[in-house]
Structure 1
Amino acid sequence: MSDSFPPPPPPHQQQQQPWVTPPGWGEPPPRKSGAGLAIGLSVGGALFVLSLLGTFLYFLGDALAASEERRGTPPAEALPGHEPSVTVSPAPAGTDAEEDVRIAKCTVDPVIAWPAAQVVIVNGSGAAADYAVTVEFVDKDGTQVADGIVGVVGLGPGQTAKRKAQGLDEAPSGTKCRIADVHRTPAAG
């Protein structure tokens, strides 16, 4: 025999198992597969990416609106031959409700193609009033492609409010905005 190798074990000794369970403990627990961790991390990552995307789109919309204001986009005009339908309420003396509302800007978002109108409301009545304004977005043929509604509560006489009427359907480039309905009521209280 060689000096570098240990002698073989005697035939009557048994080799010891790598895991010995104490009496009454049972088998060792099975190894976890890690599938739950992978699913949890995937869902968490997806939510994180969606929140980043939403934040990006929010700030992109603000930046686009600011750049259009700096460019001096001309105000949108109502389509010729289409008169807005107006509901006139018994408000104190002053202007008609339709005269209190105008569209300052009409745009179509270049990313999601949703139309929007900047609506300016100036209370021309003699008392505080609530306004509900419906804006229609129409294509070059005059066909309605979307609509949006804005409201103002408790607008004092002579006061001005600016609101954004947002359409939630895709609109083609060149879409026009028009006031479809104005409803003015005396403010409560």
Structure 2
Amino acid sequence: MSDNFPPPPPEQPQPEHLSPAGAPPAQPSPWAAPPGPPQKQRTGLIVTLAVGGGLVVAGAVVALVHAAMSSVQDSIALPPRSEAPYSEPYEEEPYEEEPTATEPDAKKDVTIISCTRDPQIGWQSAKVKVVNGSSTTASYTIMMEFLDEDGVKVAEGGAGVVALEPGESAVRKAQGVGEVPRGTTCRISDIWRTPSDRSEG
């Protein structure tokens, strides 16, 4: 015998299983997943629930804020208006001493005896004579105004006398401050006379 074996026969192609003519088509499995549209409906339901929940939460927040604002307004409410009748404040009239009939007017006690302008610096000054016409020792304060040719005040000054006995006289200089034009005049603006003690002088 020979070691050579004859070759195996070639494989025959298997016939395809075809459905016989007129047979109904294969039915899908009842456990298969449903087609696409139901999946889309489920997604829309989830979105709707999320939006609705957000609106409910927003409404609750607005309600809480409104309640908080109402409580704050109630806590800062203004006190009730008083029903007490209005009364105007009482003002006391200032006390004024009645002038003594025997005391002469203080303006009569002071006289301007000179009114000059310093040629070097242009400052005006006035000399006044004070005669105590009262019945008691008195001190005087004299205020002076310096007026230009149009009557406008251009400077002012003052002088004082302390503890002048009744009937006595004194001369004082009221010095103005600041340069004034030529032709400036002098005028007494105010005089105060107050009772005093000789020891004040």
TM-score, length basis structure 1: 0.51
Distance in 1, Cα, partners of 2:113 & 2:120: 22
Are the counterparts in 2 of residues 98 and 182 from structure 1 also a CA contact under 8 Å? yes
- Structure 1 counterpart of 2:156, which letter? D
Paired residues for 1:7-156 under 5 Å:
93-156=102-165
Aligned-pair distance for 1:94?
3.2
Q: Deviations over 1:58-97 (max 9, x none)?
A: xxxxxxxxxxxxxxxxxxxxxxxxxxxxxx9957833210
Unmatched segments (≥5 aa) in structure 1: 1-87
- Structure 1 counterpart of 2:175, which letter? Q
Q: Deviations over 1:10-29 (max 9, x none)?
A: xxxxxxxxxxxxxxxxxxxx
Distance 1:89 1:134, change over 3 A: farther
C-alpha RMSD of the superposition: 2.0
Tell me which stretches of 4 or more aligned residues in structure 1 moved more than 6 Å.
none
Distance in 2, Cα, partners of 1:157 & 1:173: 38
Distance in 1, Cα, partners of 2:192 & 2:100: 11
- Say which SS state the counterpart of residue 178 (structure 2) adopts: coil
Unmatched segments (≥5 aa) in structure 2: 1-96
Asked whether 1:160 is paired with 2:169, we answer yes
Q: Which has the higher contact order (CA 8 A, sep 6+)?
A: 1
Which of 191, 195, 199 in structure 2 is aligned with 1:182?
191
Distance in 1, Cα, partners of 2:176 & 2:118: 10
Are the counterparts in 2 of residues 89 and 184 from structure 1 also a CA contact under 8 Å? no
Identity of aligned residues (%): 50
Distance in 1, Cα, partners of 2:145 & 2:112: 11
Tell me the matched-pair count. Answer: 102
Distance in 2, Cα, partners of 1:160 & 1:89: 26
- Say which SS state the counterpart of residue 146 (structure 1) adopts: strand
Which of 169, 173, 179 in structure 1 is aligned with 2:178?
169
Distance in 2, Cα, partners of 1:146 & 1:95: 30
Are the counterparts in 2 of residues 92 and 127 from structure 1 also a CA contact under 8 Å? no
Distance 1:107 1:183, change over 3 A: same
Of structures 1 and 2, the larger Rg is shown by 2
TM-score, length basis structure 2: 0.48
